[in-house]
Amino acid sequence: MGDAQLMSRAAWLYYQIGLNQEETSVRLGLTRARVNRLLQLARESGVVSISVDHRDVGLLPLEERLRERFDLHSCVCTPELGLPSDGQPGGEALAEFPRRAVGGAAATHVRETLSRRPDAVIGTGWGRTLEQMTLNLAGSKAPRARFVSLMGSLAANSACNPFEVVQGLARATGGEGFFLPVPFIADSPQDRDVLRSQVSVARVLELARGADLAIISVGELTDTSLLRRQGMISHEELASLHAAGAVGDTNGIFFDSTGRPVDHPLNERTLAIGFDQLSSSNTMILAAGREKVDAVHALLLSGMPSGLIIDGDAALELAARLDQDERPRDRH
């Protein structure tokens, strides 16, 4: 029996039948340590997904405050984790937990959307949080759903690139996936225009513009951000983006502290659905990690998102930022 079959059987016995790990190990003829590892793999691979009702453990007052402050249709804050900030011991090792929390909450939102509209068109961006969302959609069947990339999909060769996110959603639900067969960033504005004019690209862009739900993640602009780690932008380009006032990116578009796209050559080469279209759509932004608070705040100020899913630690830091902004200034 292969590892994949053992993993599925262990997950079924443990989660579906209700056997404990000892009973599962006896039933399968495995050690308890092996069963524990198989169950962990089942969670990590998306064979098993666990949903927790955030309304019972979430930051409800803060959700309502953010919803009203930024005129959002929906806002979800996952429970506070109390993780150390960047630069403190353990910060990097624990960075995956906010992404898992937000990805799980996003998967719940997608399930609810598909239950209301099984033939929905859902547009997606890229990133590690969206990757976690796909892993939490196991068992959500929606064969009439369509998932479409909102940006160029020929990016880094990793599980969180736009192509893999779309394909992961299609596999998890049995739906259909569409991706933009073009680079994340073209070599020049002229190349971008040529690529956009291709029939296959134009058709996917048309589908993306009419998405019932757009789910995109927010990225910070630092040397440790995913864009830099994947080599999508150089250190020099990062410095020039900062000089242009950029504080973050989403959907391949770089924006300033007010959430407006900056005047920069990279924005003239990006192949993606623009902010104008996202503003007129039902756009949900995902934010995992306190390092993204500046970028999240900027996008919320722009009025572009209609929904927000954010991890509890980042939400509390965002609230502290709002408290500071709203505090009366001393005129003396």
Higher per-residue pLDDT: 330 or 228:
228
Q: Per-residue pLDDT for 316 more than 50?
A: yes
Residue 16 clears pLDDT 60, i.e. is over it: yes
C-beta separation of 105 from 138 below 8 A: no
Q: Indicate whether 275 pLDDT > 50.
A: yes
Q: Tell me, what's the pLDDT at 1? A: 58
Q: How far lies 168's CA from each of 39, 115, 158, 226, in Å? A: 20, 19, 12, 19
Residue-level pLDDT at 6: 81
At 107, the pLDDT band (50, 70, 90 cuts) reads very high
Amino acid 251: pLDDT? 87
Mean pLDDT, residues 70-95: 76
**What pLDDT, on the 0 to 100 scale, is given for residue 26?**
85
| 80 or 315: which leads in pLDDT | 315
Question: Does this chain's domain 3-44 share its CATH topology with 54-326?
Answer: no
Amino acid in the structure at residue 10: A
Say which residue, 116 or 228, is predicted with more confidence: 116
Across the chain, mean pLDDT equals: 87
Report the CATH fold assignment for 3-44.
Arc Repressor Mutant, subunit A (1.10.10)
Q: What is the pLDDT of residues 114-163, one digit of tens each?
A: 999 999 999 999 888 999 999 888 778 999 999 999 998 766 556 568 88
253-255 vs 248-250, strand pairing mode: antiparallel
pLDDT band at 184 (very low <50, low <70, confident <90, very high): confident
Q: For the residues 14-20, what does the mean pLDDT come to?
A: 83
Mean pLDDT of 73-98: 75
Q: 70: which 2 tokens? A: 């930024």
Residues contacting 123, CB < 8 A, separation 6+: 147, 148, 149, 150, 208, 211, 213, 214, 215, 273, 281
Ordered by start, the domain boundaries in the chain are 3-44, 54-326
Mean pLDDT score, 6-31: 85
User: What integer pLDDT is reported at residue 332 of this predicted model?
Assistant: 47
**CA 63, CA 69: separation in Å to the nearest integer?**
10
Residue 55 — pLDDT band, cuts 50, 70, 90? low
pLDDT tier, 92 (very low <50, low <70, confident <90, very high otherwise): low
What CA–CA distance (Å, rounded) separates 200 from 181? 8
What does the pLDDT read at residue 226? 80
Q: Options 3.40.50.1360, 3.20.10.10, 3.20.20.30, 3.30.230.10; which CATH number does 54-326 get? A: 3.40.50.1360
Residue closest to 124 by CA, chosen among 88, 95, 68, 163 = 163
Q: Residue 182: in which H helix or E strand, if any? A: strand 176-183
Residue 89 has a pLDDT of 47
Q: How far apart are CA 51 and CA 112, in angstroms?
A: 12
Q: What is the pLDDT of residue 7?
A: 84
CB contact at 8 A, 298 and 248: yes
- Percentage of the chain modeled with pLDDT above 90: 57
